[in-house]
Amino acid sequence: MSAIKVFILSDAIGETAHNVALAAAAQFSDYKFRYQRFPFVRTDSLLQTVLAQALKEHAAIFHTFVDRRLSQVVNNYCEAHDLPYYDVITPALDTFSQITHVQPSNHPGTVHALNTNYFDRINAIEFAVTYDDGKNPSGFLEADVVLLGVSRTSKTPLSLYLANRNLKVANLPLVPQAQIPDEIWKVDPKKIFGLTNDPDKLNDIRRQRMVQYGLNPDTMYSNTDKIKAELDYADKIFKKIGCLVINVANKSIEETATLITESLNTDGTGEN
């Protein structure tokens, strides 16, 4: 089954529309969705180019334009060409206008102003990239969250997702016979989270990964017995540390992130 294409359009960064689309799509777990974001669309020529591409690719559109004219252009285009769309922001603006009896300021990106919170998020993202995949063990001591797990347990995407919530995350792949960095044993176990998976599910993921690389899917990397040995090794490490273990087999990144932030007793934004 090919993925359903969803275009995210905005005259700002489009994060709100993207989050709404992700939340809605999560209720359709049997389908795959591919998202493409088009931020800072503020001219008619650029908007028409994106709309034409959406029509060509039969994409659904989620958009947040505070510029009412651009928003209407998108809605009219989609209706004329029978493209599915969702105008995320206009109904909310209308509601607040009715409440306040004031017209909106129409300033794109106001909610994402360059405040302290914004820069904290950027720093957290840079931290996640710097300390991804155990590149520098010193990061484990500075991190708000440390993720451990065998290959293909969603460590990197989860790190970046949490970073977008202002949490500094470092992660480490667990490989049998590989030495665990000394820094790991100095981290508060409450900050460490072990990620595991079902052997059959992990086998599927790894086989697909090899196919994507144009390689033979039947290798030791995807061998079921080897996978079970890796998971057993990881489980022993988790027990030795005494950390919370999360099986990601049937969980979305968002669900796993929620379990982590709840365990940290945070509101999901990195703030206690």
Residue pair 10/65 in contact (Cβ under 8 Å)? The answer is yes
Span(s) in the chain for CATH 3.40.50: 4-112, 116-263
pTM recorded for the entire structure: 0.60
Mention every residue, 6+ apart, whose C-beta is less than 8 A from residue 1.
Answer: 31, 32
pLDDT one-digit tens code per residue, 111-148: 554 566 767 888 898 899 899 999 899 999 999 999 99
Looking at residue 18, its pLDDT comes to 92
Question: Do the beta carbons of residue 5 and residue 36 sit within 8 Å?
Answer: yes
- Mean pLDDT taken over the chain: 90
Residue bearing tokens 């000394």: 182
* Third-level CATH fold of 116-263: Rossmann fold (3.40.50)
pLDDT at site 268: 44
Region 4-112: CATH code? 3.40.50
For 165-189, the pLDDT digits (tens) are 999 999 999 999 899 999 999 999 9
pLDDT in tens, 31-87: 999 999 898 888 899 899 999 999 999 999 999 998 889 999 999 999 999 999 999
| Cβ atoms of 54 and 1 closer than 8 Å | no
Q: 249-264: string of b/e by CB count within 10 Å (b at 16+)?
A: eebeeeebbeebbeeb
Question: In 3D, which of 198, 181, 200 has the Cα closest to residue 241?
Answer: 181
